[in-house]
Amino acid sequence: MSLKITEFRKLEPGATFVLGFPGTGMAGSISSEFIVHKMKFDAVGHIRSDLLPAVAIIRESRPQAPIRIYQQGKLVVVVADIMIPDNLCHSFSKDLVKWIKVQKPKEVIILGGIEKKEGQAKNYVVSWKDKYLDNTKLDHMKLGFVVGIYGPLMLELMEAGLPGYMVLTEADRGPDPRAAATIVRHVSERTGLKLDPSSLEREATRRTKVAGPKWDPYPSIYG
pLDDT tier at 212, thresholds 50, 70, 90: low
Confidence at residue 206, expressed as pLDDT on a 0 to 100 scale: 81
Question: Can you tell me the mean pLDDT for 27-43?
Answer: 95
Question: Cβ distance 99 to 5 under 8 Å?
Answer: yes
Tens-place pLDDT, residues 112-143: 999 988 767 789 999 999 999 987 789 998 88
Phi, psi of 7 (to 5 degrees): -105, 120
pLDDT tier at 203, thresholds 50, 70, 90: confident
Distances in whole angstroms, Cα of residue 46 to Cα of each of 68, 86, 100, 114, 121: 4, 21, 13, 26, 33
Q: Compute the distance between CA of residue 25 and CA of residue 121 in angstroms, rounded to an integer.
A: 13
pTM for the full predicted model: 0.89
Domain ranges of the chain: 4-222
Q: Which fold has domain 4-222?
A: Rossmann fold (3.40.50)
Q: Element (H or E) spanning 42, and its range?
A: strand 42-48
Tens-place pLDDT, residues 168-196: 999 988 899 999 999 999 999 999 999 99
